[in-house]
Structure 1
Amino acid sequence: MSDSIGQIPDGGQNAEGSRYNPSTPVVRPEWAVEVDLHLHTTASDGTLTPTQLINQISATTLKTIAVTDHDSTNGVAEAVEAATAHDHLTVIPGIELGTANHDSELHLLGYFIDPDNANLQTKLEQFREERVGVARAMVDKLAEIKRPISWERVVEMAKGSAGRPHIARAMVEAGHVETVAEAFDRFLGDKGIARVPRPKLHPVQALEMIHAAGGIGAIAHPRTVNKLNNLVKQLVEAGLVGIEVYAEKYASDRRDSYLDIATRHNLVPSGGTDYHALGAQNETLPGTNGPPPDTVAKLLDRAKQMHGSNIGSVPAGLG
């Protein structure tokens, strides 16, 4: 497979295969979906509380999930507690960290982390404060270009940490755009005219942060990463163990390209829906897409190889 796969520019949040694109059909794998390792709650920019998310998931085929809020583990404990009412469901403590280098942004998912790690929490508090500042700056920028929305309404929608999905929903409500996808594509995505970037860690620094909390790292939604192969090589040297392959609405050709990268670099092909419960048309729902059932065992084996008995958190029943 040519390295040109990793050179495709970021097509924005409405790119082919994105969870936001209402015209792209949901791709269902050939196996019964039992694993989803990319889910969000009101602890970051999802619209469901951890308990609401767990209750919804309990009615699906899912058996093992990871709660991976942006720069926050505040939803993990509630999700774990809510899952105790459902014997078939296991929650892996996770996180999603935004990173960047001079070429691209890249999001890293952390699994099996210790949510109570003091150094981790200190850094996450700083990141969340920066997220709020950037979100307010984007609202101000929208006002400057005659697309005003209320910051108070954004906060009300967030019920937690305000972010771009809440701004997008407020834009739909205010009549500035018809869909969340349009809001990202024209205004809030990486090339959107109202986008305000925030300071971010280098991907290797973020991976080290995950490792320090006893976890392992995987690349999230690789479709958004410029020069993907270059970053994969750097991160593999730093201990990366996975990459999302069975994710969002990836069609077979896109999925196969990322599977090729995983195979070449001995990475675990992971995945999930990146579910935020935005209510967008044709949104990818938990239970409709995810990696093979043995993925969690493979990731846990890598975590044991890396950390031994110092893994941050292994849910009961996973071994």
Structure 2
Amino acid sequence: MAKTSGVVEVSNLHRTEVFMSHRNARLTVFGRRLLVERIRSGRPVAHVAAEMGVSRPTAHKWMRRWRAEGEMGLEDRSSRPHTTPHRTRPDIEDRVCTLRQTRKLGPARIGPILALPASTVHRILTRHGLHRLAWLDRPTAQPIRRYERSRPGEMVHVDIKKLGNIPDGGGHKVLDRRQATDNKQATTSARKSGKPPIGYSYIHSAVDDHSRLAYSEILTDERQHTAISFWRRAQAFFASHGITVERVLTDNGSCYKSKLFTQALTAAGIAHKRIRPYRPQTNGKVERFNRTLLDEWAYLRPYASNDERTAALDTFLHNYNHHRSHTALGGKPPISRVNNAPGQYTRRFISWTVKITR
């Protein structure tokens, strides 16, 4: 019976090994305690080691640790050596980091300069967090400090994206240049006198820092009164999702530097923050959202007119907020971080999918 019981315990141990954090360990913390208990009961070390699938030196090692440290001696510990005598000298590591930050060179080019293998250079850059240029600020080459607010509404990023209008019948992305020019002239001529040619649209966007919930509108300009009106509608949108906005972060555009815009925020109990000049990374969440707008809405497919593209914005926003997986949110949509009422997911996503695949 004892032998049968031992087999059951070993099989239980094998099932727990799936969840071990140390991939080279034959025993979990539970298995080490079991090994110690069996040896303390008077059984031979060699027999217990064979049952547990480890060698006798390993069994003696865990017994020594248990006698010296108690239960703490059976916990996992780092495999990193106490000393590394062959590690690259600190002054050489500093030179590697300097070349990376000042000249943006990779391991294959830094290696010959310092007479080091490219693999060694890569390990040095990884150790100092410099192995990916995307993680570095381009002007200063310093590692980018990423942050995320702890609750919805604590900060909302606001920005404007300028986008060229599409003439009726399509532009150069649909037709050849000559036909696109004719469409542009025809659309301009059809307008009332005194109005500018095709011109531009201005996409005003607001993105919540914590949830990434986004709100956008296509407007005709980027003046202060337009920006103020947009924000009031954006604030109502966030309020409808139970989000109370505390701060608004913008760049240093003329509409955001106006006193009227700041006063409109202050009157609503919202603090207005502006980024440091020439540091758009600070407002990076809405800047990244602008890129998503271009890739997944503005340039997703050829539009036959500006009105057709404008009409597709609402569908994109619904898909973005309610269904599109977001890598920064663990593959979940922004609405998953918002305390919203039931029924937030509608059938509009199905029609959006069908429209793309056709």
Q: Structure 1-normalised TM-score? A: 0.24
Structure label with greater radius of gyration: 2
Q: Name the one with the larger helix percent.
A: 2
